[in-house]
Amino acid sequence: MSAEKYIDDALKGEHGEAAMIAAKVLVAIEKASRSKGFIKISSAHISGINYHNIGDAGLELLKDISKVARFSVPTSINPCGAPVLETDKTFSKELVEKQKAIYDAFIKMGAKNSCTCVPYEGLNVPKRGEHVSWAESSAVVYGNSVLGIYTNKEGGLSALASAILGFTPYYGMHVDENRKPKKIIQLHFQINGNVKYGALGYFIGKFTKDIVGIMGIASAKKGELKALSASIGTYGPQPMFVIEPRVDEAEIVPLEKNQLDEAVSKISDEAEPQAIVLGCPFLSAEEVKKLADLVRGKRFDIPTYLFIDRTSFNELSQEEKEALQASGAKLYFDVCPTLSYLPETFGYTNVLSNSAKHYFYTKHQSNIKVKLMDVEEIVDKHVKK
Ligand code: F3S
């Protein structure tokens, strides 16, 4: 059956109440975006599950939807506002109960049982070339640019509708001709570390709204590409970038070292940190293993909070888990460090991070100063025997 016929039947109520509502949502988007119909998806990732963002109205709506809706493709959900599987007295009982009710509604509909902003680390991994419906800008940019999947920057509602129906409107990043760079940023110098890659994302987001190609980042590590993707998703509207494009694809714009240094200064505050927050986006197995190696047998000298993708954490050896726990760091799963207002809850006014995205949201939503530093430097300064 064609996608269009399936959606038509869904609109008539032939696939149930939930499919009918989902079809109305997708048809409205299809019309507004002048899509060329619909395309089948192999995965969905839904944002907007944080009680801080959707409140009681969102909770009640999800409870109602979950009575009738079931996901038809592998579906993961974004981090939330309070722990849902571990007990943690930092968060109020009422907040945890409401957040857990939201989580339970998604689980009832068939979502995977962990909240993460890096589903591609193992929980929900589409194959290169597949079309998906993902919300969460950092994952969308990383997915299109690094994994080679096809997704628009969806909102929570459109990703939810697509998860139910298994289709998404065919426009934007689903169409090959729209994925070509309009400008090429050329770096003639080597950059390393999440802070510099975050600054590159800041520069691109401020420089243009168009999709860019980037030359000179062929040796970027996976964690650096995550940092770049999260930063572009934060500071710009682009759902992707192109790594090492062909030079004849677009106008080339050189990026000088002093421009990148200036970008770094725009995303880092000079303030004595009271705590360290790492894991925006959530830490992968590779990143946590590296951290375990760096802190083994030592301790952080200020309170430290690590936000880890649960699937990735399960890849660690017992010895690595113990090394991390013995460092004094507090480990969090499922909770977004940025949109759970955690630094505020603990009463911090200055924190240390390596994330340009964490800088933006923590600074602007909570008015907290954020200093950026790469992990190696943080360990060097704040981990002691
Ligand atoms: Fe993930 Fe929250 Fe940062 S969803 S990318 S940890 S703002």
Ligand 1 pocket residue status of 198, Cβ below 6 Å: no
Distance set, CA 320 to CA 177, 288, 300 (Å): 45, 9, 16
Query: Ligand 1, residues 357, 360, 362, 364: which to mutate, most atoms within 8 A of Cβ?
Result: 357
User: Exposure string (b/e) for 163-180, b if CB count within 10 Å is 16 or more?
Assistant: bbbbbbbbbbbbeeeebe
What is the DSSP code string of 317-356? -HHHHHHHHHTTPEEESSB-TTTTTHHHHTT-SEEEES-H
Distance from Cα 157 to the centre of ligand 1, integer Å: 18
Predicted pLDDT at 166: 97
Distance from Cα 45 to the centre of ligand 1, integer Å: 14
Predicted pLDDT at 341: 84
Cβ count near 155 (within 10 Å) = 15
**Cα end-to-end span (Å), the chain:** 64
Predicted pLDDT at 342: 82
Predicted pLDDT at 375: 98
φ, ψ (nearest 5 deg) of residue 213 = -95, 155
Per-residue pLDDT of the chain in tens (385 residues, 90 and over written 9) = 788 899 999 999 999 999 999 999 999 999 999 998 999 999 999 999 999 999 999 999 999 999 999 999 999 999 999 999 999 988 999 999 999 999 999 999 999 999 999 999 999 999 999 999 999 999 999 999 999 999 999 999 999 999 999 999 999 999 999 999 999 999 999 999 999 999 999 999 999 999 999 999 999 999 999 999 999 999 999 999 999 999 898 999 999 999 999 999 999 999 999 999 999 999 999 999 999 999 999 999 999 999 999 999 999 999 999 999 999 999 999 999 988 888 888 889 999 999 999 999 999 888 999 999 999 999 999 999 8
Which residue's alpha carbon is nearest to atom 3 within ligand 1? 280
Query: pTM here?
Result: 0.97
Provide the pairing of β-strand 251-255 with 350-353.
Answer: unpaired
Distance from Cα 98 to the centre of ligand 1, integer Å: 20
Distance from Cα 173 to the centre of ligand 1, integer Å: 22
Residue 294 structure tokens: 């760096």
Nearest-angstrom CA–CA distance, 357 and 198: 8
Ligand 1 pocket residue status of 96, Cβ below 6 Å: no
Peptide bond into 83 cis (omega under 30): no
Collapsed DSSP state (helix, strand, coil) of residue 115: strand
Residue position matching structure tokens 């520069």: 203
Predicted pLDDT at 269: 97
Residue 263 structure tokens: 């970008």
Residue 177 structure tokens: 């001709």
